[in-house]
Structure 1
Amino acid sequence: MDVHRAFAQIAILEDGKVIDEQRLDLVQDKVVAFGRRLRLDDEVVLEATGNTAAIERLLRPFVSRVVIANPRMVRAIAYARVKTDKIDAITLARLQASGFLPEVWAADEDTVRRRRQAAERMGLLDETVRLKSRIHAVLHANLIPKYKGALFGPAGRRWLAAASLPEHERLILDRLVNELQHTTEQLAALDRELACLALADERAVRMMTVPGVGPVVATMVLSAIGDISRFESPQKLASYFGLTPKVRQSGEGPARHGRISKQGNGSVRKMLVEAAWSAQSAPGPLRAFFARISAKRGAAAAIVATARKLTVLIWHILAKGQVYAFARPAFQAMKLRKVALKAGAPREYGKAGPGRDYWIKEIRHREMDYVKRAEDAYAKMVDAWRQVPPKVRKKTC
């Protein structure tokens, strides 16, 4: 099936020959009717696109397999000067029949739901940034000086309402502020849903033991990963998020490593970088790692390397069922309590909750001293590496 927005071009291959070609309108009833005409031992092939998940879900009960192809790799394998929908559909069928089709994982229902929520959150976040930029543009165009404080907080909103603007500019600003308020409320409601998902998922709770990883980051990463068993190593997971460097090598020349590939889910990669910024500000080995790379390559390269290190930690946590070795129990309890409050848990005044220990100065400082010793141990280990003289290769004749 060569899938488009409103239709799919279908080529049916049997015993190496095309026995039928047809066009199918991508409407639920017609897709189900087409599925009923197939045999239980048939295989359906389609490229990964926006409506692939819906087609896969509708056809899955009627065939043995629904195979989803990687569109990037299909183009590389089946490049043709003459390209039509019919040729593309036949190519997909023949690649599958010959065993050369680059296949991607078909997400289960729970993962698809999580991915939709993650995509919706990123859309709301982008809309929030856009509205704030437009509000700043209105103020700049009317020579309104910058507000000293949080412009979009309660005091800032009152300042915006009292700003001296022409009538038509005031109407624009009020409309933008109202849209921002509505979008912010939608984002907060979605964050409550994500917080509930994170608390109900043991994997997300373990991931939140890592500094910088909160309920949103944990849920978005899990939505992208799905089943961790499909990644054999942490390097595979880092490559899936586009956090591994490009490599160019040919002939006898040395391999050249460039910038990160940026393949895969860009939204999750962005969230991991933001989590890395938070993690490098907390005491522990991650901060020492960031400092080491930053001194050598600069902060920009160091934060990407830290995001990759976070990905490695996440793989070990999910694949081995472990928690972060340098997690602070009191801080973790306080962190989970805040997530529970965001999810809608009632406040319990006058009663010591699970995060009480964090607010006891002695306990908090004791935990911080523990992770600080781990940070210092990492720095000493790096110094020991640097003191070892480089190996001198013997010349051979």
Structure 2
Amino acid sequence: MQYIAFDSHKRYTYAVVEDPGGNRIMEQRIEHRKGELATFLAHYEPHSPVALETIGSWYWIVDEIEAADMEPKLVNARRAKMMLCSSKKTDRLDARGMNTLQRAGTLPTVWIPPGELRDIRELFRTRMVFKQQVTRLKNRILSCFSKYGISFDETTSDAFNVKGRAAVQSACSMLPVHTKESVMQLLAQLDGTNRAIAELEARMREVGSQTPEVQLLQTIPGIGPILSHVIAYEIGDIRRFASARHLASYAGTTPSVHASGGKVRYGHAPADVNHYLQWAFVEAANCIALRHTFLKARHVAQLYARLRATKGHGVAVGAVARHLAEAAYWVLTTKSPYKEPQHARVNTVVSSKKG
């Protein structure tokens, strides 16, 4: 067996091949052309591990590694750099460092989803991008009207439902000529984006099977058909998480902690999390926040209301998102529907008896 490490960039990969004793067999820069990496790997022992950092374009590189009958190892780049403790950074040193960690058996790797799963994920991820674009377009449109003192609060609760859209179209005549043209273009862009979302969702329903995992996730408050598919496909195999806390951390629903000198400070979630899972759980938590008065008998609504009163909306939504992430772990691990936490059920019973 040999140890191979790829320090990959947009246009090239720097490869280092070493034997089990740490002796370098080959160092080479490989230009990015289809088949070039597989051809390079074909000269070395099959089934050798190939370490590759988690860069943005790793999908096709993993495919080439597998095509060469090698074993891809996707590396957590931030953790690897911390373990190497090097103040210098070059392609050569990075690749050699990954091989050092491979030989020591301490290479920090992350899960590589199967090719089919990677492909399907793009539907849900693209929908998320379009939904964010819809929010930006709506905010921009309302901002254009607000600059001229035009509001739709008294006309409708939503300026972009059927009634609200009619009011928006009518109010365009009150805008200056160039601002009106800008708003019309924004509305056209909004309509096109909504059509693209509808087409994506139709395709998602075709390819996104109603698996037992998806059905179980839909028993969790705030998680519907779309979010259940996003969460299921982003999690993949639940067995790769050691505990509910690990899944919550991976999903970016736990804050960073700075503890020193007896003082503890909580900050934002770390940057190296699954941002798609983070969005899904926060989106579900916001759905609960909007309807918490109608869900007051549920634990998630009580959690949100209690924390909002003392910590504010943002902290409350974050806490609910973490609860949902941990609940997702348990329903997928135990293969049973979501159940209200025991203490929440007791509180509800006690409150009803007092009433």
Give the TM-score range, shorter chain: 0.7 to 0.9
Q: Which of 178, 181, 186 matches 2:196? A: 186
1:261 matched to 2:266: no
- What RMSD, in angstroms, separates the aligned Cα atoms of the two structures? 2.8
Paired residue type of 1:256: V
Q: C-alpha distance in 1, partners of 2:30/2:41?
A: 11
Q: Which of 364, 368, 378 matches 2:347? A: 378
Shift of 1:308: 1.3
What SS class does the counterpart of residue 188 from structure 2 fall into? Answer: helix
Query: Against the structure 1 CA distance between its residues 157 and 276, is the aligned structure 2 distance closer, same or farther, given a 3 Å change threshold?
Result: closer
Report matched runs for 1:57-206 at 5 Å.
57-141=63-147, 143=148, 145-147=150-152, 148-149=155-156, 150-162=158-170, 163-164=172-173, 165-197=175-207, 200-206=210-216
Shift of 1:161: 3.8
Shift of 1:19: 2.0
Query: Against the structure 1 CA distance between its residues 99 and 212, is the aligned structure 2 distance closer, same or farther, given a 3 Å change threshold?
Result: same
Q: C-alpha distance in 1, partners of 2:309/2:186?
A: 43
Query: Does the 8 A contact of 1:9 with 1:89 survive in 2?
Result: yes
Gaps of 5+ in 2: 1-5
Report matched runs for 1:35-50 at 5 Å.
35-50=41-56
Query: Does the 8 A contact of 1:313 with 1:324 survive in 2?
Result: yes
Shift of 1:293: 4.0
Shift of 1:199: 5.1
Shift of 1:74: 1.5
> 60-69 or 262-271: which moved more?
262-271
Per the alignment, residue 281 of structure 2 pairs with 272
Q: C-alpha distance in 2, partners of 1:82/1:259?
A: 29
Q: C-alpha distance in 1, partners of 2:258/2:180?
A: 56
Shift of 1:238: 1.0
Report matched runs for 1:22-37 at 5 Å.
22-37=28-43
Gaps of 5+ in 1: 327-370, 383-397
> 122-131 or 277-286: which moved more?
277-286
Q: C-alpha distance in 2, partners of 1:225/1:101?
A: 22
Paired residue type of 2:315: A
Q: C-alpha distance in 1, partners of 2:305/2:182?
A: 46
Cα deviation, 1:158-185, whole Å, max 9, x if unaligned, reads 4444422444333322222111111111
Paired residue type of 1:91: G
Shift of 1:375: 5.2
Shift of 1:61: 3.4
Per the alignment, residue 327 of structure 2 pairs with 313
What SS class does the counterpart of residue 200 from structure 1 fall into? Answer: coil
Shift of 1:322: 0.7
Instruction: Give percent identity, aligned residues only.
Output: 25
Q: C-alpha distance in 2, partners of 1:59/1:85?
A: 19
Paired residue type of 1:134: R
Q: C-alpha distance in 1, partners of 2:176/2:209?
A: 49
Q: C-alpha distance in 2, partners of 1:288/1:140?
A: 35
- Mark the structure with the bigger radius of gyration: 1
Q: C-alpha distance in 2, partners of 1:153/1:308?
A: 31
> 54-63 or 229-238: which moved more?
54-63
1:3 matched to 2:3: no
Per the alignment, residue 349 of structure 1 pairs with none
Query: Against the structure 1 CA distance between its residues 110 and 303, is the aligned structure 2 distance closer, same or farther, given a 3 Å change threshold?
Result: same
What SS class does the counterpart of residue 133 from structure 1 fall into? Answer: helix
Q: Which of 303, 306, 311 matches 1:289? A: 303
TM (norm. structure 1) is: 0.75
Paired residue type of 2:215: V
Shift of 1:300: 3.3
Per the alignment, residue 59 of structure 2 pairs with 53
Paired residue type of 1:108: P
Paired residue type of 2:231: V
Report matched runs for 1:352-391 at 5 Å.
377-379=346-348
Shift of 1:234: 0.7
Per the alignment, residue 346 of structure 1 pairs with none
Paired residue type of 2:125: A
Shift of 1:248: 4.0
**Stretches (4+) displaced over 6 A:** none
